[in-house]
Structure 1
Amino acid sequence: MPHLPNEIILEILSLLPVKSLMRFKCVCKSWRLMISDPEFAKKQLNVATKESGKLDKLRLILHSPYLRIKSCSLPSLFYEPFGYSINHDYPGRDLGVINEIVGCYNGLVCISIRDMEKDTIFVWNPSIKESKRLPSKPFEQLFYLVSYAFGYDSITDDYKVVRLVCCSINDSYEYHVEVFSLRSNAWRKIRSFPYFLFTDEAGKHVNGSINWAVSRDKNNDHWFIASLDLATESYEVVPQPDCANETLKPIIRVLGGQFCIIFEYDDIIDVWVMQEYGVKESWSKLVTVPFFSDPLDANYAKPLFYLKEGAILIDFYGMLILYNFNRNESTSPMIYGVHHYHEVEVYLESMVSPNSYN
């Protein structure tokens, strides 16, 4: 293999798991340089993205305020009786516990660590153990809430963090929005957010846009979905399916790369996916899932991943449920080393470095 042309070596290496690639960095200097090249990271990412439906390069990342960050192979939860967790020393651990997993995209995980005065944000790739610390932003006076989001702008090939701060001013509310670009390595203010958020839940990234469930103002209980386009920095209203009830808050997720809405009722949840982002007619109901727990126990259910064969993995109020909707059967996968968790997301193993954009 060392005698093959570099192009052939790169093609072969791009097919390998990230863990193997990290070991192969030690084979020789030329391999280390090839594997560390950002262009190779893009090649490996393209391969991993095409194969992501096969699950083999996907992992769950879990955290609790009282535990280390842990991860587990996603395929083991679909095809094995149980999974094994591994520990991760997350960046900024000396600053405190993680307040939130803001988002995951292309192998990068954005996390927030909060203290009384500020949030410290890291963009981190747990697969290659590289991270970037963003300049801290102190909380503004009289702030009502702070919501973050993490996404990718394909137009400029740039990863961005959005910081949306709601300030209370004389019984009214004003939103300040800033965007951090990995390429420019700086925060920049953009046009104020024209809607109202009731929670600090992170915005959801899909198709180059960040999405939130919003209303027109504090006293308006009519819900809809608003988006921020990361390339144009414009705000839009995202069409909902015809079944949407404007008095029922939609729970939004991204499922298999598609925009997803969950509607909760008394004893079921309906999971809808938008097959073509922004096109109202492309909405279709994926599955109806029965409740497996008292809905008062926690905030809501979060679909994590689904297989076209007819199974969906859901974070059901702090408990993982694997629901086979062809057979109407459910199981609760076990992860050794994880007894409880605060938050769970899916990430893709990749070689993308958060430091390669400076």
Structure 2
Amino acid sequence: MASNDLLLSFPNDIVHNIMEKLPLKSIVRSKLFNKEWQNCIRNSDFVQHHLKHSLKNSENNALLFFKSGTSLYFVDDLSISPPRPINLPIPSTSQYISIVGSCNGVICIEVGSFSKSYILINPTNPTVFETIDFSLSHIFCNVKLKHNPNFFVTIVSGFGYDDKNDDYKIVYIWSWKNDKNSVKIRGMIYCLKLGKWKTLHPPNVGTSWNYCGIVNNCLHFVTESNNVIISFDLHEEKWGEVNFPDIKAKYEVKEVSIFEGCLSVLIKTWIYHELWVMKQYGITKSWTRLLILPIPETCRVLFYSTRVQKYLLSVNCRRLVWYNEVDESIEEVKIDGKLDIDDFRMVIGSLVPIQFKMLDHHLSRERKGLFGGQDDGDTGECREGSKQRRSKKCRTKTQYARVIFRKEL
């Protein structure tokens, strides 16, 4: 019996159970095997089961992104592969891009430093995307610049998935000081299902907000005061607070992020950096010190590899190192190419679709999926009258990045 016939002879439930546990790379390639497998992989139940398994066993599907200038890159293997670009549909006039965040393998990228547009995309199928615009009229409708010559506004974006409403949402917050030097804060939220922006009322807790990530269906932010972590429940659309670790020693908060599904904070005592994680969300007493890092620079713990038993750290957002907790050794990770690297992000890859706009057919034929298979050109539908608008956006493109941690690392 031929190998193909042997595989097809297995009952569907057994095949599905096996495939749900496969790495993302293997699943994407298996779509070329036969139409039944393609239909299985596109099934929403299969996508959800595979996503749950990936979140529990993240190492097989860990993706690393970084940007350089207005381009985004991925690396296939940190030990041997040079960075490679993948195109994104952005205007040629764009001078700034940033990775807002990711959720369920869907990445949110913001284009522009003030009047923004957002791109939602899953890198396993980059020919399908959604573009969301934000108008400056939302900001200036109630602000009279002629009475405030020193007007200065700070902005921040957040992105997450509302699992109770099955909806992706983008939060946009801006703050400024009025004539009396008092802080004013406004916000907007975009719901993908509604397809429109609506008003938010963020708490007036200071300017210079920074987005930290999503945990427990809540987005998290900090301000320049670093007194408390601000939470925003995507389902209830209500604001809250999460306290920092309550320890006797004086410390300075250097970084708030998400590590292995937990809220984490990097603090600096008088000598070391320490990484603390909140084991039980919202419980202040559950803050636990996970690491003591003998590194003077500010760093972010991106990932722990059980295969090499080391932590991958982003140092000052510009370089990567492996850190061995046992012997406290540090190994520099070199990335080929003369790139001005900035903003490393770790993402868990998934099969979650973005079934909205698609890139032009001639462009999708030229582009392969991240794992070597052909992109699915039939996972989304073009909206009437949008083809010409998309072709203009695709004249120049940017790139983004991924890395799968294999056994060879």
TM-score by length of 2: 0.74
Over aligned residues, Cα RMSD in angstroms?
Answer: 2.8
How far apart, in 1, do the equivalents of 2:331 and 2:251 lie?
33
Partner of 1:263: 267
How far apart, in 1, do the equivalents of 2:193 and 2:341 lie?
33
Partner of 1:341: 341
Post-superposition offset of 1:307: 4.5
For residues 297-328 of structure 1, give each alpha carbon's deviation from its aligned partner in whole angstroms, at most 9, with x where no partner exists.
Answer: xxx32221134686322111211121112111
Partner of 2:124: 127
Q: Which residue among 171, 182, 185 is the counterpart of 2:192?
A: 182
**Paired AA for residue 40 in structure 1:** F
Name the structure with the higher strand share.
1
**Paired AA for residue 311 in structure 1:** K
How far apart, in 1, do the equivalents of 2:312 and 2:108 lie?
22
For residues 126-171 of structure 1, give each alpha carbon's deviation from its aligned partner in whole angstroms, at most 9, with x where no partner exists.
Answer: 1221321113332623561111111122222222211112143333
Post-superposition offset of 1:46: 1.6
- Aligned 1:186-201 pairs, distance under 5 A: 186-199=196-209, 201=210
Contact in 2 for aligned 1:144/1:165 (Cα 8 Å): yes
Partner of 2:239: 235
How far apart, in 2, do the equivalents of 1:245 and 1:149 lie?
32
TM-score by length of 1: 0.83
Q: Which residue among 41, 51, 55 is the counterpart of 1:49?
A: 55
Partner of 2:143: none
Q: Which moved further from structure 2: 265-274 or 322-331?
A: 265-274
SS at match of 1:321: strand
Q: Which moved further from structure 2: 242-251 or 5-14?
A: 242-251
How far apart, in 1, do the equivalents of 2:194 and 2:123 lie?
23
SS at match of 2:252: coil
Change in 2 beyond 3 A, CA 1:236/1:64 = same
**Paired AA for residue 44 in structure 1:** H
Q: Which residue among 61, 65, 74 is the counterpart of 1:61?
A: 65
SS at match of 2:341: coil
Partner of 2:75: 72
Structure 1 stretches of 5 or more lacking a match? 216-220
SS at match of 1:183: coil
Structure 2 stretches of 5 or more lacking a match? 1-6, 141-150, 357-379, 382-409
Partner of 1:327: 327
Post-superposition offset of 1:197: 3.0
Contact in 2 for aligned 1:175/1:193 (Cα 8 Å): yes
SS at match of 1:332: strand
How far apart, in 1, do the equivalents of 2:226 and 2:121 lie?
37
For residues 244-270 of structure 1, give each alpha carbon's deviation from its aligned partner in whole angstroms, at most 9, with x where no partner exists.
Answer: 888834520101111101113465211
Q: Which moved further from structure 2: 117-126 or 5-14?
A: 5-14
Post-superposition offset of 1:289: 0.9
Partner of 1:16: 22
**Paired AA for residue 233 in structure 1:** E
Post-superposition offset of 1:4: 4.3
How far apart, in 1, do the equivalents of 2:23 and 2:206 lie?
43
Contact in 2 for aligned 1:222/1:246 (Cα 8 Å): no
